[in-house]
Structure 1
Amino acid sequence: MNYAKNILETIGNTPLVQLNKVTAEVDALVLAKVETFNPGNSVKDRMAVKMIEDAVADGRLKPGGTIIEGTSGNTGMGLALAAIVHGYKLICVISDKQSKEKMDILRAVGAKVVVCPTDVDPTDPRSYYSVSKRLATETPNSWYVNQYDNPSNAIAHYEQTGPEIWEQTEGKITHFVVGVGTGGTISGVAKYLKEKNPNIKIWGIDTYGSVFKKYHETGIFDENEIYSYITEGIGEDILPKNVDFSLIDGFTKVTDKDAAVYTRKIALEEGIFVGNSAGAAIKGLIQLKDEFKPEDVVVVLFHDSGSRYVGKMFNDDWMRERGFLEEEITKAEDVIKGHINKPLVIVRTEELVSHAIERLKKYNISQIPVIDTTGFVGSIDESDLFRSYVENKDIADKPIKDIMGKPYPIVDRNAPIEEISKLINKDNQAVIVDLGEGKHHIITKHDIISSIK
């Protein structure tokens, strides 16, 4: 009989799949190493098990112990599978930019999930790096994995992923392209492949808001390059020890929008349902197309599954809100398509100013139209309201008609975007769209900016 003794024995030997449509403009054979075939649906299964095995072997992880790790979700899943099989507890510290699906999946496999803010410095006590380290010191019989600096991370890919790619391509691989986060995958695979053939080129995919590309090219760790970004699983605001820059031939950066758009393209054009970093890797590969020749064999690694992004990159509303959806915006109703069914928030002339303040806060908006029995008669803008309130705190109890501005212009739902843009200026922060049948909606400056491609 042919069977695995536990789920961990099914890790590895993932397939190489030729890409056809999504990389049509690349004049080379492009093969995807699809790591979603691992039981935890990501490449991280490999190194999660290796790190645990090595920690057990040298006594860092003891029987019944608690594994603690900061993770974007995928390493946590691999650790969870191994923890279940071997009887360990697991605490995953995750940043709040990661998808809800990742958090729910980790909880489903028994991990305790601690969520930390994304937009803080790595040394900030609230960062997921700092919280992970703190929990490791406070939790008895625990082991802090630290995938960023743990050498077992890269070793797993040197021992497994690299050899698989070499054998599957019969040694014909010429380029390896992969997103870089902890650095374990690119460094481990690169070390193995370059030992086999030093001429193989290794390309890292970075994202805007990350330090890798500039550091590789200049040796400068530029803190000005660090800012929050949406793309998951790649890029860093630190330099993990697992990133061996000497093995990497170059980096290219991919925008959040392009990463999201190409994540969807892979599913629609190849039938391969993979995650956000795969979209970044494919767009990066296309940006590098001049590096490839027709006879080249280019392997790109797909880290994880699209199932972890159904509420984000695979959700039209999420994409539309960020201006990532490739839709033609030509008229008023196109701009508000993502929230056209939401009721228009209004205030009445005789209501108190305090009511307008409450609604601005409750709905997180900046402008409110004012109505009376005749229709739209005025407007409330948060900046004007703030200035008035600073000058006179008693205005909160005054009627809105005493401080309201002029009413917003009203346009038809088919009004061209150019016409609307001209109407929004420093003196007029919004327009009202007449949807017909007595229904109206508002377009603000923010909506116009969000619609820019």
Structure 2
Amino acid sequence: MNPSKKVFDNILQAIGNTPLIRLNRVAQDIPCPVYAKVEYFNPGHSTKDRMALKMIEDAERDGRLKPGGTIIECTSGNTGMGLALAAAVKGYKLICTMNDKQSKEKMDILRAMGAEIYVCPTNVPPEHPDSYYSVARRLNQQIPNSFFPNQYDNLSNRQAHYETTGPEIWEQTEGKITHFVVGVGTGGTISGVAKYLKEKNPDIKIWGADTYGSVFKKYHETGIFDNNEIYSYITEGIGEDILPANVDFSLIDLFEKVTDRDGALLARELAKKEGLFLGYSAGSAFGVVRQLKHLLKPTDLVVVLFHDHGSRYVGKIYNDDWMRERGFLPQNNKVAKDFVDRHSRLPLLRIGVGEPVSNAIRLMRKYSISQLPVVKDDTFIGSLDERTLLDALIEDPSAVDRLAGELMRKPFPIVEATTPVEEFRQLFTADCGAVLVHLGDGEYHIITRNDLIAQLG
């Protein structure tokens, strides 16, 4: 055995002392060194291991958590994992309430660690009885010998980072750190680290990553809790519709919002360029550095904390279909086939030149479509759209009995499956709302203006 290798009595002793890693390729346009505090090296693969253990040990110490007890927590997944480690080692039962936007991977991992999961709706206010906050509190009241850590308001959360994460960063940078950047959810990480670092050097800047749909940025800047700032968002682990007690706004110099799309794309970029397979909020945190690089000088040293591991987001930000459905993937390399793949198994609806217009209206209504190709002997010779039909019917209601060939307009342009989007999107005009895609073997499908917007928006 290597005598320099440290031996642990249990998995909890492996928490902390995570590495600081310089970012290179992704940070080429940043005027100063940028280092990542990579928290997925914790045994539970996130920074939440630190505060989960601290909350449990403090509760054991003051009697709030007794032997054989049940831990009940509302979590986005990572705190639940940290609590699961502690529960497994110490012999507690664990119940986690989670909102339904969290990844399936997080839920599956928690179940594998022995946790019981309650999935709650995301789009309800915190005080709603079905919110994951309310469900956790209710279970805590109903279950004897249970403990509700409440990571949002339990100050052991930020104390854990004051005692461990902050000192590690200070020592690893030899006190040269000038900026600390991190995503803000419960506020424990940013507030605990900020308190320690500012005690060492009050000039260190603390930047928090927020997301659109969260109240933090506006509240920090104005002191106003604006309900109009609250709406559903996709990014996991940062942003809130409440003000957790752990967020010490006086220690934070600024908040910067990063879009759902940018956070996802930057996480993928970090994987491809730095070999760091990270969670969603890591992309958002690095997005703050990118967006505020004009505030940095060559003499600065930035540390950005990356919360967790990408394995919990394989079905989301690292899944091309999931990304494409939300319009997050760059469209530069898309071809016509990409726009019809999801519905190419369905037949192309069309109408014969000799059919009455009433048949076209029936098809449009039944399938919620707005345009149809007109065919004669399997050849596309024209097109009908809802605007043409509406104009005709307003002028003459009896037009419903006319033939499609009498009202049709020019046929839709036809492109090949491999035609780049840059070429065929130019075919969409005020008079042309669709193109046909030749898929080979006499098969065709349609790309409408709505399909284009959905993919490129």
1:190 to 179, 186, 194: 194
Matched, 1:120 2:120: no
AA aligned opposite 2:44? G
2:156 to 148, 152, 158: 152
1:251 to 252, 255, 264: 255
Matched, 1:177 2:181: yes
TM-superposed deviation, 1:210 = 0.7
Q: Are the aligned partners of 2:32 and 2:297 in contact in 1 as well (CA < 8 Å)?
A: yes
- Aligned residue in 2 for 1:209: 213
CA distance in 2, matches of 1:128, 1:410: 51
Cα offsets for 1:150-176 (capped at 9, x unmatched): 101000000110011111111111110
The correspondence of residues 404-423 of structure 1 with structure 2, limited to 5 A, is 409=412, 411-413=414-416, 414=419, 423=428
CA distance in 2, matches of 1:32, 1:205: 15
TM-superposed deviation, 1:438 = 2.5
Matched, 1:5 2:9: yes
AA aligned opposite 2:297? K
AA aligned opposite 2:415? D
- Aligned residue in 2 for 1:315: 319
CA distance in 2, matches of 1:73, 1:183: 16
Q: Are the aligned partners of 1:90 and 1:111 in contact in 2 as well (CA < 8 Å)?
A: yes
Q: Are the aligned partners of 1:332 and 1:417 in contact in 2 as well (CA < 8 Å)?
A: no
Name the TM-score, length of structure 1 as normaliser.
Answer: 0.85
Matched, 1:344 2:346: yes
TM-superposed deviation, 1:340 = 5.0
AA aligned opposite 1:300? V
- Aligned residue in 1 for 2:92: 88
Cα offsets for 1:111-165 (capped at 9, x unmatched): 1111112122222222211222222222222111211111010000001100111
Q: Are the aligned partners of 1:29 and 1:297 in contact in 2 as well (CA < 8 Å)?
A: yes
Q: Are the aligned partners of 1:347 and 1:371 in contact in 2 as well (CA < 8 Å)?
A: no
**Alignment coverage as a number of residue pairs:** 428
AA aligned opposite 1:115? V
Structure 1 367/38 Cα, relative in aligned 2: closer, same or farther at 3 Å? farther
- Aligned residue in 1 for 2:42: 38
TM-superposed deviation, 1:86 = 0.6
- Tell which deviates more after alignment, 181-190 or 216-225: 216-225
CA distance in 1, matches of 2:29, 2:228: 34
1:131 to 129, 135, 139: 135
Q: Are the aligned partners of 2:383 and 2:412 in contact in 1 as well (CA < 8 Å)?
A: no
TM-superposed deviation, 1:271 = 0.8
Cα offsets for 1:320-352 (capped at 9, x unmatched): 222211231676335x16x357412566989x9
TM-superposed deviation, 1:191 = 0.4
Partner SS state of residue 167, structure 2: helix
Q: Are the aligned partners of 2:58 and 2:156 in contact in 1 as well (CA < 8 Å)?
A: yes
CA distance in 1, matches of 2:156, 2:76: 18
CA distance in 1, matches of 2:111, 2:408: 52
- Aligned residue in 2 for 1:391: none
Partner SS state of residue 44, structure 2: coil
- Aligned residue in 1 for 2:69: 65
- Aligned residue in 2 for 1:229: 233
Structure 1 175/321 Cα, relative in aligned 2: closer, same or farther at 3 Å? same
Partner SS state of residue 27, structure 2: coil
Matched, 1:261 2:265: yes
CA distance in 2, matches of 1:113, 1:358: 43
The correspondence of residues 377-392 of structure 1 with structure 2, limited to 5 A, is none
Matched, 1:24 2:62: no
Partner SS state of residue 63, structure 2: coil
Larger radius of gyration: 2
CA distance in 2, matches of 1:111, 1:359: 46
Partner SS state of residue 33, structure 1: strand
Partner SS state of residue 440, structure 1: strand
CA distance in 2, matches of 1:106, 1:406: 59
Partner SS state of residue 224, structure 1: helix
- Aligned residue in 2 for 1:75: 79
Q: Are the aligned partners of 2:263 and 2:281 in contact in 1 as well (CA < 8 Å)?
A: yes
Partner SS state of residue 456, structure 2: coil
Structure 1 76/416 Cα, relative in aligned 2: closer, same or farther at 3 Å? closer
CA distance in 1, matches of 2:102, 2:66: 30
Q: Are the aligned partners of 1:344 and 1:440 in contact in 2 as well (CA < 8 Å)?
A: no
CA distance in 2, matches of 1:155, 1:56: 16
- Aligned residue in 1 for 2:106: 102
CA distance in 2, matches of 1:194, 1:423: 57
- Aligned residue in 2 for 1:291: 295
Q: Are the aligned partners of 2:187 and 2:244 in contact in 1 as well (CA < 8 Å)?
A: yes
CA distance in 1, matches of 2:375, 2:68: 68
Gaps of 5+ in 2: 390-402
Q: Are the aligned partners of 2:383 and 2:408 in contact in 1 as well (CA < 8 Å)?
A: yes
Give the root-mean-square deviation of aligned CA atoms: 3.2
